[in-house]
Amino acid sequence: MMELPPTECALLVLIVDYLDDLSKASEAVLEAANLNVSENYFKQAKDLLRKSLVPGSKNLEFSRGLNLCSTINVNRYYRLNGLAGKHGNNDDPTAVQEDEAIDKHVSLAEAVQCGMKVIGARTRIDAEVEIEKQALFREFLTAVKTRGYFHEPMETYESKYTKVVTKFRLKLRDKALDDTDMSSSMHELSRSRSLSQVSQRVKVRGTFSRQDQRYMEQAEQHKVEGNEKMQAKDYQGAVVSYSFALDIVSQVGNATHGDVKYNKSIYYSNRSAAYLSLSQFSLAEDDARASLALNETYGKALFRLGLSQYFQERYDVALEYFLQAKSNGEENNPTTAQYIQKTYDKLQVGPGDNTDGQLQSNSKADIFKMQGNSFMGKKMYDKAVDSYTRAIDVATDNDRNLYVYYSNRAAALCFMQDYQGAAEDAAIATELKPDYGKAYARLGLSLFFLERYRESRDAYASALRYEPSNKASLSYMKKAEEKIEEGYG
């Protein structure tokens, strides 16, 4: 078999060592590196290359008796111009292990990194990632956006963005060719990363591919632009930047990753703030809800949703979200406290909620009742019970709506199938307001499910006296009468 030249043999050894490391790598590492192949692939490639490493050397006397392990070892690159490296080799399990860094043989990654540094080379994607961080590039991108390039419908955003990056890169390339000194920005681009920096970058990426990581970084840059525009009171520009951030992050392959959902939640919330500043309250509401769908305890999104309701004069709902925001990280925000007080003031002088067709009192109890009504609409019956209970607790004896609080809590308890509690609350409501048909109907329903059919029939009869056209009361009164005829209760 033909003997390989020493340089090619050494290169082959570097590749064999590299394949050996890859064959031992976990599936997660291979997947993160976009190497969608099995471990056996690397093992087979390594074995094939090993066959080319026949014992051989220009010093034939020295080469006699070398086995494959020795051939690999003597053809490895060592520091100190080949003087480093203890006796033995890593392929031989009985050999003395080379623990010290100086005696470690040079890896393919180190050889490539040092070689690329010498000739001033790096991967295209690394160069472009650094380009995107340059202030000059951001100015260039803003100018392109202003001209409306990204609004043309014929291509995807990613395709257009890639063309912008390429055009800017070629401008830097031409400048580098003309300028032997090179600008400080090009020095920044040509600076190589240390192994620890590369390791940290992989750690940050986690399960993201390189392309997805790039999407995440681009989206973050647009978010920063949006924040800067908010500071400059360029609210429409901020909307555009946050929209770009959302468009880009939506292209990440692993859409359910926690970091993706977290970032999207922020982008939606920030755009909601921009819409609020533009008095586009409906759009602000939509974005705040989208943010909360991704992170339901995000205090800023809760507060901004509250603001969208406040400025649409839905004060009872606004108060609910302001209070939730306060319990989710916004308790020390003076603006939150300010709007809670403003909402209390609005509710106390405004028309208020009129769910039960009654005039509202000007008490805090009525505010808790409105919260309860909101929870009922969302079928959050346990929270509705809590709100109505708080209304009852803070209400005064002469509160003209006290009967409503008991009646509404009875309704919530019925949905929770606590019919005994519902019956007790409904009975109290009828005592406080003897002509309140809804309280009798709720009393009748709870008694029906307690199988107290005669009492249920009587309660429905009272309900129909005040609400004669209520179909539900007519239906359940008939059912109660049928049960009585069958010999029940």
Task: Identify the pLDDT of residue 307.
Answer: 94
How many angstroms separate the CA atoms of 42 and 411, rounded? 68
- The CA angle 341-342-348, to the nearest 5 degrees, is 90
Q: CA 34 to CA 27: how far, in whole Å? A: 10
Residue 74: burial class (beta carbons within 10 Å; 0-12, 13-18, 19+): buried
Tell me the pLDDT of the chain (489 aa) as tens digits.
444 455 566 676 677 676 666 666 555 555 555 555 555 655 666 566 555 554 444 443 334 344 545 556 666 777 777 777 765 444 444 444 444 566 777 777 777 777 777 677 877 877 888 888 888 888 888 877 777 777 766 677 777 888 888 888 887 877 776 554 444 444 444 443 343 443 334 333 445 677 888 888 889 999 999 999 999 999 999 999 999 999 998 888 878 888 889 999 999 999 999 999 999 999 999 999 999 999 888 999 999 999 999 998 888 788 888 888 887 888 788 888 888 888 877 765 333 344 443 334 445 787 788 888 878 888 889 999 999 999 898 888 778 889 999 999 999 999 999 999 999 999 999 999 999 999 999 999 999 999 999 999 999 999 999 998 888 899 999 999 999 988 876
Task: Note the maximum CA span of the chain.
Answer: 118
Q: What's residue 29's pLDDT? A: 52
DSSP 193: P
pTM above 0.85, yes or no: no
d(CA 283, CA 308): 9
Tokens of 137: 């590039």
Find the angle CA(269)-CA(248)-CA(145) to the nearest 5 degrees.
95
Torsion of CA 26, 32, 37, 38, to 10 degrees: 10
* pLDDT, position 31: 57
Q: Can you give the pLDDT at residue 38?
A: 57
Using alpha carbons only, what angle is made at residue 101 by residues 96 and 104, rounded to the nearest 5 degrees?
Answer: 55
d(CA 144, CA 156): 15
Residue 128 confidence (pLDDT): 83
306: nearest Cα among 319, 292, 295, 293: 319
Number of helices (H), then strands (E), in the chain: 25, 0
In whole angstroms, give the CA distance from residue 323 to residue 317.
10
* Structure tokens given for 475: 């239906």
d(CA 250, CA 260): 8
**Would you state the pLDDT for residue 45?**
61
